[in-house]
Amino acid sequence: MTDAVLLERSGTLATITLNRPAVHNAFDDALIASLTALLADVEADESVRAVVLTGEGASFSAGADLNWMRGMAGASEEENRTDSERLAALMHRLQFLSKPTIARVNGAAYGGGVGLIACCDIAIGVFGTKFSLSEVKLGLVPAVISPYVVAAVGPRHARRLFVTGEVFDASHAQRIGLLHEVVPADELDNAVANAVALLWPGGPVAQREAKMLALAMAGQTAEEAQRVDIQNAALIARLRVSAEGQEGLQAFLEKRGPTWRS
């Protein structure tokens, strides 16, 4: 694996750390590929009982990397669709991982970072953490992560957050269901350890079946999610090459307001 993603084992617990602190653990092609592959390895390792996902440094994940976004702006619709399908495959892998997953939200999460949190079974964050689904400010939508975010917070909250792109804090994230628990920064590790301890009495096969049962009862199956992922990848690809999407991306890269705000 590349250094963009780190794996630490402590007995039957696997901790995966996004390791690009200089860019707030933003996604690029390498991070997406590495994290997807690492989750597949953890999935196949029968000695792993649970997985903690966290970020190195001050942030959990800032979403899309600046250079990655620059590549999006200049890519064709088909190239953008292929790119989006890779991110969709990552979210799908995490959502349907057969092991219990805990998001250790050590700092800010934007865009795809919010998607990763929504895909985890348990999410614990620190007071003061900021979140946003700001894609509309770029003339885009949070397409690939939308099924997972909507499943976590419900359609009513998602509608507001999707159309405003507003920044919200950890207390709000807890109220809407994105986070299960919010603690002071110096208590985060203890809170995560307590959540892990709750998992050990359960049978691993029963936990896997219980997780899939909960998803199925909410109408989420791996097969249906894959169909939706393909549709959403096509949607974001179309928007990225649209006039509004191009203007939004260029405005962001040029550090100016888009024309619709003039």
- In tens, the pLDDT along 207-242 reads 999 999 999 999 999 999 999 999 999 999 999 999
Which positions ≥6 away from 208 have C-beta within 8 Å?
Answer: 98, 99
Spatial strand order of the sheet with 130-132 comes to 59-61, 108-110, 130-132, 167-169
Residue with tokens 């990763």: 116
CB 116, CB 103: distance < 8 Å: yes
Query: What is the pTM assigned to this prediction?
Result: 0.97
Query: pLDDT truncated to tens, each residue of the chain (262 aa)?
Result: 459 999 999 999 999 999 999 999 999 999 999 999 999 999 999 999 999 999 999 999 999 998 888 998 899 999 999 999 999 999 999 999 999 999 999 999 999 999 999 999 999 999 999 999 999 999 999 999 999 999 999 999 999 999 999 999 999 999 999 999 999 999 999 999 999 999 999 999 999 999 999 999 999 999 999 999 999 999 999 999 999 999 999 999 999 999 998 6
In residues, how long is the chain?
Answer: 262
Q: Is 254 a catalytic residue?
A: no
Rounded (5°) CA angle 76-77-80: 85
How many Cβ atoms sit within 10 Å of the Cβ of residue 221? 13
| Cβ neighbours of residue 250 closer than 8 Å, sequence gap 6 or more | 73
Give the pLDDT score at 2. 52
Dist. CA 7–CA 15, nearest whole Å: 6
Say which of 85, 135, 166, 181 is annotated catalytic.
135
CA distances from 65 to 19, 24, 28, 90, 144 (A): 13, 9, 6, 16, 16
What six digits make up the tokens of 93?
């892998």
